[in-house]
Amino acid sequence: MLHGPKNVPRTDPTVESLVKDPTGPTRAGTTFRFRQHSLGKQRETVTRFTKIDPDQAIEFESRIGPMRPKCSLTFARTGAGTSVTFAGDSMPIGPLKLFSPLLNRKGQQVWYKRLARIKTVLEEPASQR
CATH of the domain at 75: 3.30.530.20
Domain with 102 in it: 4-123
Q: How many structural domains is the chain composed of?
A: 1
Chain centroid to CA 16 = 15
- C-alpha distances out from residue 34 to 11, 67, 80, 82, 125, Å: 13, 15, 32, 27, 27
List the chain residues with pLDDT less than 70: 1-6, 126-129
- pLDDT tens-digit readout, 85-96: 999 999 999 999
